[in-house]
Amino acid sequence: MKSLKLIFTSGRYFTPALLFLSLNIIFGTWAIYIPRITKKLDISEGELGFAVFFLALGTLTMIPFAPKLIKSIGLGRVMAFAVTAFCLSFIGPFAAPNYIWLCASLYVVGACSGVMDVTMNTLVTHIEKQDQVQFMSLSHAFFSLGGMLGAGVGIFLVPFMPSALIHMVAVIIMLILVNALFMKNYLKITVVKEEHEESFKLKHLKPLLGLAIISFMVMATEGAIVDWSALYLERVTLAAAALFGLGYAVFNGMMAFGRFFGDSVSAHYGSRFIIITGCIIAAIGFGLVLSGMTWVAIAGFGLVGLGLSVVVPELFRYSGNLKDIAAAEGISFIAGSGFVGLLLGPVFLGFLAQTFNLRSSFFALLCFVVIAALLALSLKRK
């Protein structure tokens, strides 16, 4: 809990956590209104899926440019622009008069999200390096907390809101004002290129490749659980309807819990140990999920969430501290590969489920985390 005490005693450490919180409060608010927006625009689930693809496309488009913006404009200034632009961009999907505008606005949302994601992870890495502290995992815990707040509190506010757009505008104004109060803590931060750092070259792929594959595997697993855990409980374990969403709820809750303690464990044992151990715990969790018994499977989803909770923050921390590679470039490469996994994971799982069955799909996810653990064995101890 040292990192938790750290962020609540200094604005310098609290502000990055606030950025992570803000990002997912917005997404959580968006999530509760998706059914209403699809109904308003009279679009099918398939059309919604295609529209969300534009969000992903926008993210992937901008991730490679984020390090260049950070170098040319400055880390703090890009962060201030990114959080403001991201918040404002969500007016688009809620105000979209038709399907084409929805797709276009989601592309803009994705582009702003991509820049914000890389920049805030780079900001945490930069502060950790300068101050010799660790709070990356806790920052990601605030991301998980933000999703729970955005959706959880938002559901109770829906009956009192005149429209979805007014609700989102109110959230946007609140978040912009709160973040503006804390911008002074990072606005003047710039990342000075160190003597040993070089521009990104092909030779840098070697130390990043293993991390990128781990990121792809882990994020693909996360994405698959988000979209398929309820269906697994329904069709494989034959759970009662009231329990369909409990697998993901337990997964998300344990993920948030794990991230609150991840920095303390990392400080003692290092990123390599955390990544390996986290993947092993997730593998055990998938073993329980594959039992086919409802409550055992739900407990398994919890173990998967606990195991994976610390892997992605440690991947960002590890890649941001690689020798000869600028933190922003290492983080953007890992973020990009992970995001591709997040997108393709559910699609891959669906293909396996259709070709074989849903249980075999989750066995594939077990293989994913085992492969990630084996790849992590090759990482250097830091």
Dump the DSSP string for 310-371.
THHHHHHHHHTT-TTB-HHHHHHHHHHHHHHHHHHHHHHHHHHHHHS-HHHHHHHHHHHHHH
Cβ(106)–Cβ(54) below 8 Å: yes
- Which pTM was predicted? 0.81
Q: Report the percent of the chain where pLDDT is more than 90.
A: 41
Question: Where in the chain are the domains?
Answer: 2-185, 202-376
pLDDT tens digits for range 215-251: 999 988 987 887 678 888 888 998 887 787 788 778 8
- Please report which confidence band the pLDDT of residue 207 belongs to, taking 50, 70 and 90 as the band edges: low
- State the CB neighbour count (10 A cutoff) for residue 216: 22
For residue 195, the model assigns a pLDDT of 47
pLDDT tens digits for range 87-119: 999 999 999 999 999 999 999 999 999 999 999
Residue with tokens 């609540």: 8
Q: Which letter does DSSP use for residue 381 in this model?
A: P
| Single-letter residue type at 171 | V
Q: Which letter does DSSP use for residue 243 in this model?
A: G
**Topology agreement, domain 2-185 and domain 202-376:** yes
pLDDT (mean) for 165-192: 93
Structure-model confidence comparison of residues 346 and 366, the more confident one? 366
Copy the structure tokens of residue 131.
């101050």
- Please report which confidence band the pLDDT of residue 286 belongs to, taking 50, 70 and 90 as the band edges: very high
CATH number of 202-376: 1.20.1250.20
CATH 3.40.50.300 fits 2-185, yes or no: no
Average pLDDT of the chain? Answer: 87
pLDDT tens digits for range 135-154: 988 898 898 888 878 877 88
Distance of CA 305 to the CA centre of its chain: 13
Selection from 267, 226, 16, 17 nearest residue 141 by Cα: 17
Selection from 304, 4, 236, 250 nearest residue 137 by Cα: 4
For residue 193, the model assigns a pLDDT of 58
For residue 199, the model assigns a pLDDT of 52
